[in-house]
Structure formats: C-alpha cells, structure tokens
Structure 1
Amino acid sequence: MAVFGLDIGTRKVAGVLGELRGDRVHIIDCAVAEHEKRAMLDGQIHNIAGVSATVKKVINELEARNGIKIKEVTTALAGRSLHTETVKVSADKKGEVSEEDILDLEIRGLKAAHERIRERDKKDFYCVGYSVSDYSLDGMPIKDAVQQTAKDSIGLRLIATFLPKIVFESMLSVLKNCSLKLRRITLEPIAALYVTIPEDMRLLNIALVDVGAGTSDIAVTERGRILAYGMIPKAGDEITEELCNEFLVDFKNGEMIKRNIGSGVIKIVDIFNNEITVTPQLFEKAVLEKIDKVAGEIADEILTLNEKQPK
C-alpha cells in the first residue's frame, strides 16, 4: 500500500508517494508546488488557508496521475521555538528483554521529558518526535537490548523534541482542510538525519545542517548515537530579504534573483519601475555579510549542541 509523505516548507510543499518493498522504500511519484504568497515564516504556518491551497495542489496532482484517493499522511514539523529534553530512564528486569519492555521505557522517558518542560516553561508543548540515543543492559551500554537477557536492569537515554501547541494545531488545521488523517509525525531534523546519515556513519562526530527557506535544522551524531537536535530561525529567506532591501524589489523578485544569479547578469524592474541590472559581483556584495551572519549562528548552535567542533 502506498504511503503519502508531505513536507510543508516555508517556500514550497513537496509530496511523495512511496511503498516498502522488502527493506527498501520505492518512490512511486512526487509533486512540488510553491506558496503563492508568504503563507509561512520561519517554518511556522501563518496563513492556514494559503498553505491548505498549496497542499491541495500537490494532492490533486498526485491523485490525478496515479488514479488514487489520498486519505492519510506522514509529515514533519519545524518552527522557531524548538525545545529538546534528554532523559535517562531505567527499570528492574530479569530475563529476556521484549519490545514491550523497551516501549514502556520510551513512554516513561517521554512523560518525564514532558513534565520537565511544562514545569520549566509553564506553556503547552507537543512532543513531535524523539530518538533513542543508547540502551543499557545491567548498567552496561548495548546497541539493541531486545531479546537480550537481563540480570537486574535495562535502561535507555532518549532525546525528546517539543514545539508549541500553536505550531502543531495549525498543521492539524491544514490537514483537516485537505481531508487528510495524520498517520505519523516527526521533527524535520529527525527525518533529515535518518535519510542522510546511515547508522554506520553515526560513529563519526558529524553535524548535519539542513538549510531551508525559513529554518536551518541541525542534528549531531557521535559514537554511533544521536547527540542532539537543534534549529535556528535563519535560512534562505534571510538572503532574499537582504536582496529586496538592497535592490528595492518585492520578495518574489528577490527570490528570482537569488535563484537565477548563477546564470549571469539579471535585468529587473524595482518597486519604482526603474530597470536595474544585477551582476554576480553586486549580488555577492549585497548578501555576503548576511551569509556570514547566518553561517555564524548555525556554527554557534552546533558548538552549543556538540560542546566542541565536530569532525
């Protein structure tokens, strides 16, 4: 059975149809549509109707090409107010460790993380994804505890990620407008990590950075485990806005300059109807300082998460 994956980004929406064949995911079809207006800022939905319209375009295209009706969706969330909590939990255990034992520990860990964040921030947050960093068996680290024999205890450490209630509920409103039932949800850097960094590569101290339009998503690995997730509300739109200010153009034309400057000189009309010429040299001069600033903030966040420079 085909599964529908949806990525609602700040600038565009991407939909993918896929199915599991053996141990591999086979991509059946995909579609992409851009928001007609700036319906999202910094990865957060601001105009529910506008985002819903873009999602419907993607769904309609995929349904028409594949002769199906899409009813369920798997998606990922981002946003400027990401909170993460790292929690260690353990339990007495003698005998063979089952999947239910591990699931029980994970649920306990998520509850503890949720309580911690509620006590500290006094606000409503939803857990949008989590990763187990490592397991332990009788106090010793182990890669996978399932079907191992415990003498006295099992444990795990997990990273739980939370976003404000408004971020989650605005996503649910969009899905409701599109007659979609939410099947699964996760956090965008979690999804990016599992797609791009295979388990064997996580032995290295690597920082993955996914620079989108509204947010830059970060995941850090070391010694075979996931160390941390992070996010900053600075990304490609910062560059576009700088071009708008420099050349006095609207956001749509600023985006056009950014995307096409690699082809050479661009001639465009500014908001006062004056024709201007943007060369690669002028482009670089306009955005270099902003690029350095965004890159610096990403680097600072990586150092905060990793507590040292990654490899």
Structure 2
Amino acid sequence: MLALDIGTTKICALITTVNKNTGDLEILGIGKSVSDGLNRGVITNINKTAKAISSAINKAEQQSGQKATSAICGIAGDHVQTVTSHHIISIPSHIGEVSVKDVERLIDEASKMPISSDQKIIHLFPQEYIVDGQDKVDDPIGMSGVRLEAHINIITGLSSAIDNISKCVTRANEEVKVKEIILEPFASSYSVLSEDEKNVGVALVDIGGGTTDIAIFKDGVIKYINVIAVGGNLLTDDLREVLQIVRNEAEILKKDFGHCYLKKMRDDILLQVPGVNGRKPKEIQKSLLTKILEARMREILEFVDNSLVLSGFKDKLGAGVVFTGGSTLLQGIDYLAEEVLKCSVKIGIPSGISSSGLAPEVANPIFATSVGLALHGFKNELGKELIIPKEKKKDEDIDEGEESPDEIDYSHGDVNNKKVKKSKEEKVKGESTWSQFINWIKNTFDKF
C-alpha cells in the first residue's frame, strides 16, 4: 500500500506492508520531495504537482524495492466544509428492533442530502442516535423501537480539488490507482491519538505549510472540523521580509535555529546568513529571529484558540491539544501553546507501526499524516482478511433475502460493498458488532 501526503510544502510517500511475524504495519520505503503547484493545500498546477508526486513515489519504490499499485491519499484545504444534518427512518412495526441494516439505511439517506454542485462528500460521521425519542444513544442496534434518528456531521470538499488529487497521482505514475481519499486530520488521528484521548476529548491541530487543520474528538468520534488559512509558510515569509534575505535562507534559518518562545531561549548567538549575489554575509541575533517567529506563531495559536472556543468544546478537552505538522518542530512551541491556549499540550509523534523496518525514520510530526494514512489503509486490509465466505443461514427467524447483522462487511466505508457472513468463532475477540459498525462508518464512503 502507498500512503501519499500531498502537502503545500512537501510530498511524503510511504510504501508499507504487513510484518509476517508481528502482524503490524511495517514501513518499507520513504519518499520525500519539495511540493510544487499547490496553494493552501489545493492543487493549482497539475503538471508541477504530478512531477513532485512522481519524485516522492520513485524514492519510496527505490528504497523498498517494491512497485506501488494502489494509494490512499489525504486531502486538506480551506475548501473543506462541515454541515450537521438530522435524518429519520422508520422501522417496520412487526420487527420493532433496530438492526445494523437499519443504521446502514439511515447513513445512506444522509449521503443523499443535497449539497452544492461543486462539492463532494468526503466523510459522514454520526454524532448520536435517537430511538423513539430517546436521545444520546451510542449503540442503537438491538434496541426496541419503530423510529430511528441521527445527527450526522457531513464533511465535503470541492469536487475539483478531490478529482485533481487522483488526476495528479495517475499522471505521476499510471500504475498507481487512488483507492481512497480521506481528510488529513482524520488520517493523522490514527497515528498520534489514542482511543482514550478521543473518548475523553482532544483537539488535533496540524500546522502545515499552507493551512492549520483542527479536528476535535469527543466520545470516540469527530465532533468538529475547521481549516484556518494560515500556516508555517507565513513564518518563512516573515523572516524573509523583516531580515531582507532570500526565501531559501529564511527557510534554513527557521529549520536550523527556529525558536518561538523567547522566555525559554538560552544562548543568544550571532547567526550568519549568506549575502545575495556575492554580497557580504548578514549577521542576525538569534533573539531577533525568535521574536519574529514568536509573533507569527502566537497569532496562529490565537486563531486556533478562537476556533476551539467557537466549537463549544474548549472546556471539554480532557486530553488537551495534540500538535502535528512541520511547524511543531520549532523549539518552544509547546510552551507558547500552553500559554496561549491555557490547556495541556503535547507534540504528536506517529506510533502504531512495527518497530522493525523504517519506524525510527518516521518518528517525527511531519510524518503524522502519511503514517496515519498508512494505518487507515492497513486497518481496511486487515478487515478484509478477517472476513470469511458467506455460510448458509441457520437462524430460522431470519427471512430469506434478509440480512442478519453478521452479514455486513464492516471493513470498508463503501455502502455498496459485498456483504459476507462471519461465523461467531471468526469474529474479532473483544470487538463488538457496534464497534465494527462504527469502524465501517469511519473508514469513509469510497463511492463519493
């Protein structure tokens, strides 16, 4: 499986496999390239983006010794929108009990909700269910009732932005087919958030080059999504403007000496920057560099804080805020974030993969999305392997042509997936039918 993080400043490609000894995801190849042809997470030049993607894929293939054939890609950008909808279905009175099939029908109804012609659905996230007026139902399956309702968060994105991702990947490597496109902060959650954090309440903040993506989790599901049209590129631009140096040198300064919290900066050393076109080098105090970076990062964090407040979940984040993205490599960002946000802060390091292979290479916030994409794809493939061929129904109370809850393939988000039956012995231990169904929903709807 190929995981592709197509960002504003960089392209990350990971080629992965399943470790036969441990059953864990293993990284075989890593490819990175400088991104080109994107603005704030959206592709603006097909040829340039395809060339950058091709470079990253080639590097990953060379390192792994494998050819990529299918890819799972991330999507971000301020074109991403969220709308909460309410949907209702009736349950036949002679049955009077909610089944998996009923919940699937309800989600399918939500997928038909009219949206702008220039938008496509990326994800559908159920928030809560209501059975015969009883609200705050987490697991409606098996409950008695004749009326099922749900509040559902529908995540959409520009059709052109979504289609251009597939187009660029195909142009970069015609042998690679895009299998799925998912929201980047949702992908990152697989690699840097635990289930406990998602349940108690946590905000995932990915400070990318062009945008800052925010995803809030509570009770195990995404409750809020927001994309702020500012990112790490502004830090580089500020250094270039204030210090009057070329952009490449500004980027090097930021990466090599970047600190964004003056109170914690120790040595105020003198830095030298090469002059332009043979001119004498410039000397810059590190304290000045820090002041410039702190001012902009403080502004970005204030935007984040405002978004958390507007979400209504600011005081419900029991696990605080987890940061990912290249800008989180700046020294002092955790101290500054705690000061601005007034809550606990952690830098998210990807986990959940086999310790063998190239695991140490991706233990870095810049790989949070690509590792998360790989884990999402791995989870889908694992789900496939757990499905066994359909057996003849033995339950006399199930009518011919009607599916029991055990006949749903929970491993994918496509509502048109072939349904197969698992014997009780083959079900994953410790994983309830409801948990499997939630995973089915979370794994996105491939048909959109």
* TM-score category (smaller protein): 0.7 to 0.9
**Which structure 1 residue ranges, 5 or more long, are not aligned?**
none
Letter in 2 for 1:27: E
Report the alpha carbon displacement of residue 242 of structure 1 after superposing the two structures with TM: 0.4
Q: Percent identity?
A: 21
**Deviations 1:207-247 (CA, angstroms, capped at 9, x unpaired):** 22111111111111234443211111111111011011012
Tell me the residue number matched to 2:274. 269
CA contact (8 A) 2:83 2:155 kept: yes
Letter in 2 for 1:26: L
CA contact (8 A) 1:16 1:31 kept: yes
Alignment of 1:119-158 (within 5 A): 124-138=118-132, 139-146=134-141, 148-158=142-152
Which SS does the other structure have where 1:150 is aligned?
Answer: coil
Correspondence 1:15 to 2:10? no
CA contact (8 A) 1:248 1:271 kept: no
CA contact (8 A) 2:128 2:135 kept: no
Report the alpha carbon displacement of residue 44 of structure 1 after superposing the two structures with TM: 1.4
The 3 A distance-change label for structure 1 pair 85 and 25 is: farther
Tell me the residue number matched to 2:52. 54
The 3 A distance-change label for structure 1 pair 200 and 89 is: farther
Letter in 2 for 1:277: E
The 3 A distance-change label for structure 1 pair 279 and 111 is: farther
Q: Distance in 1 between matches of 2:39 and 2:283?
A: 29
Instruction: Give the aligned length.
Output: 300
CA contact (8 A) 2:235 2:293 kept: yes
Alignment of 1:92-241 (within 5 A): 92-93=90-91, 94-95=95-96, 97-112=98-113, 115=114, 117-118=115-116, 124-138=118-132, 139-146=134-141, 148-177=142-171, 178-179=173-174, 180-241=176-237
Correspondence 1:288 to 2:312? no
Letter in 1 for 2:225: Y
Tell me the residue number matched to 1:301. 307
Deviates more, 1:129-138 or 1:83-92: 129-138
Report the alpha carbon displacement of residue 262 of structure 1 after superposing the two structures with TM: 4.9
Deviates more, 1:266-275 or 1:101-110: 266-275
Report the alpha carbon displacement of residue 187 of structure 1 after superposing the two structures with TM: 0.9
Correspondence 1:256 to 2:252? yes
The 3 A distance-change label for structure 1 pair 46 and 251 is: farther
**Deviations 1:232-269 (CA, angstroms, capped at 9, x unpaired):** 11111110110110122232221111000159643222
Letter in 2 for 1:128: I
Q: Distance in 2 between matches of 1:90 and 1:24?
A: 41
- Structural RMSD (CA): 2.6
Deviates more, 1:79-88 or 1:12-21: 12-21
Q: Distance in 2 between matches of 1:270 and 1:130?
A: 52
CA contact (8 A) 1:129 1:185 kept: no
Deviates more, 1:292-301 or 1:255-264: 255-264
Report the alpha carbon displacement of residue 102 of structure 1 after superposing the two structures with TM: 2.4
The 3 A distance-change label for structure 1 pair 173 and 167 is: same
Higher relative contact order (CA 8 A, sep 6+): 2
The 3 A distance-change label for structure 1 pair 225 and 71 is: closer
Q: Distance in 2 between matches of 1:74 and 1:64?
A: 19
**Which structure 2 residue ranges, 5 or more long, are not aligned?**
260-268, 318-448
Report the alpha carbon displacement of residue 100 of structure 1 after superposing the two structures with TM: 3.5
CA contact (8 A) 1:220 1:306 kept: no
Deviates more, 1:251-260 or 1:164-173: 164-173
Q: Distance in 2 between matches of 1:196 and 1:97?
A: 34
The 3 A distance-change label for structure 1 pair 12 and 135 is: same
